[in-house]
Amino acid sequence: MTKKKRPVIEREEVVVKFVGDSGDGMQLTGSMFSDVAAIVGNDLATFPDFPAEIRAPQNTVAGVSGFQVHMGSSKIFTTGDLVDVLVAMNPASLRSNLKWAKKGATILTDTDAYDDKTIEKAGYKANPFTDNSLDGFNMIMAPITTLTKASLQELGVENKIAERSKNMFALGMLYYIFNRDLNSSFKYFEHKFKKKPELIEINKIVLQAGYNYADTIEALESVIQVSAAPMEKGRYRNITGNLGTAWGLLAAAEKSGRPLFLGSYPITPATEILMELAKHKSLGVKVFQAEDEIAGICSAIGASFAGSLACTTTSGPGLSLKSEAIGLAVITELPLVIVNVQRGGPSTGLPTKSEQSDLYQALFGRNGECPVIIVAASTSENCFYYSYMAAKLSMEHMTPAILLTDGYLGFGSTLFRIPKMADMPSINPPIAEANDSDYKPYKRDHETLVRQWAIPGTEGLRHRIGGLEKENVTGVVSSDPINHQVMTDMRAQKVEKVADFIPEQEIDGPDKGDMLVVSWGGTYGSVHSAVSKMQKEGKSISHAHFHYILPLPKNTIKVLKSFKKIVVCELNSGQFVNYLRMKFPMPNIFQFNKVQGLPFMINELTDKFNQLLEEK
Amino acid sequence: MDFINMTVERTNVQLTKADFESDQMVKWCPGCGGHAILAAIERVFPKIGYRKENFCMISGIGCSSRFPYYVNTYGIHGIHGRAAAISTGVKIANPRLSVWTITGDGDSLAIGGNHFIHVIRRNVDLNILLFNNQIYGLTKGQYSPTTPMGKITKTSPMGTIEHPFNIGELVMGAQGTFFARVPDNNIALMTDCMFEAAKHDGTSVTEIMENCVIFADKAHAPVTGKDVKDETMLILKDGSPMVFGKNNEKGLILKDTMLDVVEIGKNGITIEDILVHDQYSQDPGIQLMLAKLAPPHFPMVFGVIRSAMYPTYDDLVEEQIKFARETSKIKNVDDLLNSGDTWEI
Ligand SMILES: Cc1ncc(C[n+]2csc(CCOP(=O)(O)OP(=O)(O)O)c2C)c(N)n1
Ligand code: SF4
Ligand SMILES: [Mg+2]
């Protein structure tokens, strides 16, 4: 391979986005690119950007599919706001993604994809190459389709098949631009196409051709080097949030010795958890695809009664359907993990976009006084840990727990340092012993107020529970007014006492100062990045990111009181902020909100924080 | 004793009625059909012979759904309409339990209609006892999906204008494998059918024609009343001819493609001509016709109408898990975490 001597420019972090028509294979291209980044030791986060329609018309904006990779030689917290390198395989994908390109970004596009028809279908009035819209970008215009076909001519590959590998040509070019090695992709082809050896050859040739082509072109003045990030030693893999959630539940089941049951109904963006768990029957998980969300949660309640770690997974509209049944799990005081991978609402809303607008629903969306534990994951990787913790707390405290994640976390991926099961915290559900003559359904532990889990089939523990209020201790049906007060208080206190078993709230930065930025859930990466940027500029600003919502960590009030101003950032109209105001009425709690189905941009956060800091 | 499901552990002592009596006061109205159904359960559970800890009763909401409080087993009094879904979870989670689903006509056919048809379609091994009093009892007298057309109730002061479900037809339409119908005034028949239901592997639906003395009193009397029942009830017995009448002088035959009532000894008809009941027939054709019969032209049929063998959902779940355990390389979560593409840093 001939390599021109081009200067190598070292970059700390780069955002690359692959976009094209749904049929162009952008998901595969993007994930192959990110795999190589991972292997050379970059930290990274990725996000797939699928069209909402399954088969949108070809070459339209609606049919654009994308895959974004944010990689760096230092810790990566987000999937990246604006892109440094955009690979756009057709006019529609260029048009719809240009707004995400940084000033001066490198844009690689396939000139063969531009003709009157595709340009018009993309919604362009004129050819973008001639209308000045691309001024200021570093354009690499390559006849990718033609070159791909040419590279395969010798093999005598049909044009149609040749065309399909044009994404590998683009990938080859990117490997050159990023000074990457082709070998791991070659290995990947050998593995993936074991049964179709002709495809191994085709893909290798095209990838190499793209690489070589990039070497020859004028448009490239330098190549980019992103070096390995200093990472904790260990074994790593990629993980999406939904995979992490699913595996966290499997891990909690194994650790607690309780078999895993999932009752669920498909809904974007939560379905992957259901699909993932369905694959792991070898671990004994029982997955029930129910006729609706209500049956999903009700079957889980039945399974929980029968002694399983029972879970139900859904997204916003599905959580609405589950409300009544969550109440049943609350009053029966059975463990149950309810995962809500949030999406844009209300109603069907923005099903493929992310939001944090189900917090009120999780907190308050049920009839009666109906508290549950609420936990929120903040990265794709820690979905594993927080689904594990939701399961642990739910079982140990005999109370349902809602785990909030969101579409960005669910679909996005990050590197995941593989833990050892032996190092995971122990889980000890309060299982009642056979023939315990003192057993009473609502006899409680004095400290935690937790009742015991008496599992059907166990000798000497027959009992009935249900939706009617029960007398404390005995569990006999009771409508006694004082008892109802007692039970209502017990259920609430039992949840509050979970605060004794969760870590204190951590502060990123000094533990007092001018301003505390508060966030929760999937916004961690962008808020953290914005705050640390300002900390580097010498601003008095700290960050508290909440994972435990109900109960809140015990030191929450102390944390809030240590700052002159507090600003709570959320992708909703202000739900966590109002929850905090309700719990801790303080005049200095400000808010910053966005409900566009999009994550926060780092500069919109820093602008807001700076403005608040300056205001007297 | 007949063969009973072997996955559920049996007791080695003879249980009695007392083993299943709960200490709770039974709060149904005096004269409510529920009392007789409770008596039948207390009779049949010891006879079934499972360990008493292996019975589980799951209900929805309604007068009927209070049932689990009155039987000393493991139990859940659930939420309205969802008994079938909760029961499904219990059974899948632990197939070694004998799960009894207690529900009303409103509970399972109105609000819970979706779960009802799907649990039947899946053939989860549950025993559904459907207390059909043709009314919403607990909410004090509104019409239900089984209330006969034209009936005056609290919400139909001019008579209902809805076509009621025939439960047997609905069960078979949902590919049900077991359907029995019993009146609440015949404890022996109730007990027999409950026993048959327990024996059946798969979802059994037993419709109990229950009297609500308060809001739909004597709704079933035109069929099950002492004065008329000889002419209006035909009690099926597998392998026996379908006869009825005071002296069993009437019977059913298949004429062309339809059932017909004939008198034995008239027009040359002998007992040999009478249809013989085959509850185990896989094909539900005749069973469906039987389920739909009703006075005045026909008797209504009772007893086990259908009891066909099909694989159960819960068995198939266990089979898949067993196969996966034997064949998969992933034996524990550590294996899983380290599967696929991983690398050392
Ligand atoms: C979600 C919900 N909707 C409505 C009700 C009110 N409700 C309770 S029982 C019932 C009808 C019961 O009828 P059925 O199932 O036939 O039982 P029965 O009382 O006749 O035995 C209704 C409408 C409820 N408890 N929950
Ligand atoms: S209202 Fe009817 S169904 Fe309910 S307990 Fe009374 S008689 Fe029975
Ligand atoms: Mg009823």
Q: What is the pLDDT of residues A143-163, one digit of tens each?
A: 999 999 999 999 888 888 899
A59-A64-A115 Cα angle (round to 5): 25
Residue A429 neighbours by CB under 8 Å, 6+ apart: A256, A258, A335, A395, A396, A398, A453
Residue B143 neighbours by CB under 8 Å, 6+ apart: B135, B136, B151, B153, B155, B156, B160, B162
Domain assignment present for residue B299? The answer is: no
Strand B178-183 and strand A541-546: pairing? unpaired
Domain assignment present for residue B38? The answer is: yes
Contact of B72 with chain A, judged by CB distance below 8 Å, is answered with: yes
Alpha-carbon distances of A424 from A133, A248, A418, A589, rounded to whole Å = 53, 10, 11, 36
pLDDT computed for residue A220 by the predictor: 83
Does A522 lie in the same domain as A377?
no
Residues in A touching B324 (Cβ below 8 Å):
280-282
Is B93 close to A461, i.e. CB distance below 8 A? no
| Per-position b or e across B210-221, b if 16+ CB within 10 A of its CB | bbbebbbeebbe
Is B86 close to A35, i.e. CB distance below 8 A? no
Q: How far is the CA of B27 from the centre of ligand 2 (A)?
A: 9
End-to-end CA distance of chain B: 66
Which two tokens mark B241?
């001819």
Q: Which atom of ligand 1 lies closest to the CA of B60?
A: 15
Amino acid identity of residue B273, one-letter, is D
CA distance B117 to B130: 13
The residue out of A225, A253, A276 marking a domain boundary is: A225
Ligand 1 pocket member B32 (CB < 6 A): no
Q: Tell me how many residue pairs between chain A and chain B have CB atoms under 8 A apart.
A: 203
CA distance A510 to A190: 52
Does A525 lie in the same domain as A577?
yes
CA distance B60 to A536: 60
What band does A457 get if pLDDT is binned at 50, 70 and 90? very high
A235 within 8 A of A418, measured Cβ to Cβ: yes
Mean pLDDT of the region A522-543:
97
pLDDT computed for residue B2 by the predictor: 46
Domain assignment present for residue A507? The answer is: no
Which two tokens mark A539?
């601003």
* Residues 279-338 (B) with a CB less than 8 A from some CB of A: 317, 320-321, 323-325, 327-328, 330-334, 336-338
Contact of B12 with chain A, judged by CB distance below 8 Å, is answered with: no
The CATH number of whichever domain residue A571 belongs to comes to 3.40.50.920
Q: Is B247 left (phi over 0), alpha (psi -120 to 50) or beta?
A: alpha
Residue A386 neighbours by CB under 8 Å, 6+ apart: A248, A375, A376, A377, A378, A403, A405, A547
Which two tokens mark A537?
């500029």
The residue out of A502, A534, A551 marking a domain boundary is: A502
Residue B59 lies in domain: 17-219+311-319
Does A546 lie in the same domain as A484?
no
Is A306 close to B72, i.e. CB distance below 8 A? no
**Count of domains forming chain B:** 1
Q: What is the pLDDT of residues A538-594, one digit of tens each?
A: 999 999 999 999 999 999 999 999 999 999 999 999 999 999 999 999 999 999 999
The residue of chain B nearest to residue A231, with distances taken between CA atoms, is B345
Mean pLDDT of the region A67-80:
95
Residue B109's Cβ-side half-sphere holds a number of Cα atoms within 13 Å equal to: 27
CA distance B168 to B109: 12
pLDDT at residue A370 is higher than 60: yes
- Whether the upstream peptide bond of residue A48 has omega within 30° of 0, thus cis, is no
Map residue A151 onto helix, strand or coil: helix
Contact of A184 with chain B, judged by CB distance below 8 Å, is answered with: no
pLDDT computed for residue B7 by the predictor: 80
In chain B, how many H helices and how many E strands?
A: 11, 12
Is A306 close to B94, i.e. CB distance below 8 A? yes
Is A237 close to B54, i.e. CB distance below 8 A? no
What is the biggest distance separating any 2 CA atoms in chain A, rounded to whole angstroms?
87
* Residues 582-601 (A) with a CB less than 8 A from some CB of B: none
Does A417 lie in the same domain as A565?
no
Map residue A522 onto helix, strand or coil: helix
Give the one of A261, A281, A304 whose C-beta lies nearest to B324's C-beta. Answer: A281
Domain assignment present for residue A2? The answer is: no
Domain assignment present for residue A551? The answer is: yes
| Residues surrounding ion ligand 3 at CB below 5 Å | B 104-105, 133
Does A238 lie in the same domain as A215?
no
B143 within 8 A of A316, measured Cβ to Cβ: no
**Count of domains forming chain A:** 3
Which two tokens mark A219?
């448009």
Ligand 1 pocket member B62 (CB < 6 A): yes
Neighbours of A376 (CB within 10 A): 28
CA distance B16 to B292: 37
- Whether the upstream peptide bond of residue A269 has omega within 30° of 0, thus cis, is yes
List the single best residue of B53, B67, B108 to mutate versus A (max A Cβ within 10 A). Answer: B53
Does A491 lie in the same domain as A365?
yes
Domain assignment present for residue B168? The answer is: yes
Residue nearest to ligand 2 atom 5, measured at CA? B28
Q: How far is the CA of B29 from the centre of ligand 2 (A)?
A: 5
Q: What is the pLDDT of residues A18-35, one digit of tens each?
A: 999 988 999 999 999 999
pLDDT computed for residue A221 by the predictor: 84
In chain A, how many H helices and how many E strands?
A: 20, 22
B290 within 8 A of B171, measured Cβ to Cβ: no
Is A464 close to B342, i.e. CB distance below 8 A? no
Does A152 lie in the same domain as A104?
yes
Q: Bridge-partner residues for A548, per DSSP?
A: A375
Domain assignment present for residue B261? The answer is: no
Residues in A touching B333 (Cβ below 8 Å):
247, 250-251, 254, 283, 421
CA-wise closest residue to A205 among A161, A230, A168:
A168
pLDDT computed for residue A1 by the predictor: 45
Ligand 1 pocket member B94 (CB < 6 A): no
pLDDT at residue A344 is higher than 90: yes
Map residue A415 onto helix, strand or coil: strand
CA distance A339 to A362: 10
Does A475 lie in the same domain as A361?
yes
Contact of A334 with chain B, judged by CB distance below 8 Å, is answered with: no
Rounded to 10 degrees, what is the CA torsion of B144, B147, B150, B155? -30
Percent share of chain A, pLDDT over 70:
99
Q: Which atom of ligand 2 lies closest to the CA of B29?
A: 6
pLDDT computed for residue A4 by the predictor: 65
Mean pLDDT of the region A169-174:
97
Strand A235-240 and strand A413-417: pairing? antiparallel
Does A14 lie in the same domain as A107?
yes
Contact of B3 with chain A, judged by CB distance below 8 Å, is answered with: no
The CATH number of whichever domain residue B79 belongs to comes to 3.40.50.970
Which two tokens mark B174?
């949902």
Residue carrying the six token digits 């800091």? A613
Is A464 close to B82, i.e. CB distance below 8 A? no
B102 within 8 A of B57, measured Cβ to Cβ: yes
Domain assignment present for residue A429? The answer is: yes
CA distance A116 to A130: 13
List the single best residue of A462, A469, A479 to mutate versus B (max B Cβ within 10 A). Answer: A462
Does A496 lie in the same domain as A608?
no
Contact of B10 with chain A, judged by CB distance below 8 Å, is answered with: no
pLDDT at residue A385 is higher than 60: yes
Low-confidence ranges of chain B (pLDDT < 50): 1-3
CA distance A415 to A238: 5
A325 within 8 A of A298, measured Cβ to Cβ: yes
Q: Where are the alpha helices (DSSP H) in A352-499?
A: 359-364, 382-396, 407-411, 481-496
Q: Is A194 left (phi over 0), alpha (psi -120 to 50) or beta?
A: alpha
The residue out of A479, A502, A525 marking a domain boundary is: A502
With a Cβ cut-off of 6 Å, ligand 2 is lined by B 28-29, 32, 34, 63, 133, 137, 212-215
Ligand 1 pocket member B133 (CB < 6 A): yes
Percent share of chain A, pLDDT over 90:
92
Q: Which atom of ligand 2 lies closest to the CA of B28?
A: 5
pLDDT computed for residue B5 by the predictor: 64
Does A328 lie in the same domain as A448?
yes
Q: What are phi and psi of A489, to 5 degrees?
A: -65, -40
Mean pLDDT of the region A495-523:
98
Ligand 1 pocket member B105 (CB < 6 A): yes
| Per-position b or e across B120-147, b if 16+ CB within 10 A of its CB | bebbbbbbbbbbbbbbbbbeebbbbbbb
Does A478 lie in the same domain as A607?
no
Contact of B340 with chain A, judged by CB distance below 8 Å, is answered with: yes
Residue A406 lies in domain: 233-502
Domain assignment present for residue A466? The answer is: yes
Q: Is B338 left (phi over 0), alpha (psi -120 to 50) or beta?
A: alpha
End-to-end CA distance of chain A: 63
The CATH number of whichever domain residue A321 belongs to comes to 3.40.50.970
CA-wise closest residue to A226 among A410, A354, A37, A503:
A37
Residues in B touching A243 (Cβ below 8 Å):
none
Residue nearest to ligand 2 atom 8, measured at CA? B32
Query: For residue B107, what is the DSSP state?
Result: I
Contact of B110 with chain A, judged by CB distance below 8 Å, is answered with: no
Q: Is the ipTM of this complex over 0.95?
A: yes
CA distance A580 to A557: 9
Q: Which among B29, B140, B144 is the best mutation to test ligand 2's pocket, defined by most ligand atoms within 8 Å of the CB?
A: B29
The CATH number of whichever domain residue A110 belongs to comes to 3.40.920.10
Residue A113 neighbours by CB under 8 Å, 6+ apart: A89, A90, A91, A144, A145
Residues in A touching B87 (Cβ below 8 Å):
302
Query: For residue A62, what is the DSSP state?
Result: G
Contact of A324 with chain B, judged by CB distance below 8 Å, is answered with: yes
List the single best residue of A33, A299, A309, A417 to mutate versus B (max B Cβ within 10 A). Answer: A299
A449 within 8 A of A497, measured Cβ to Cβ: yes
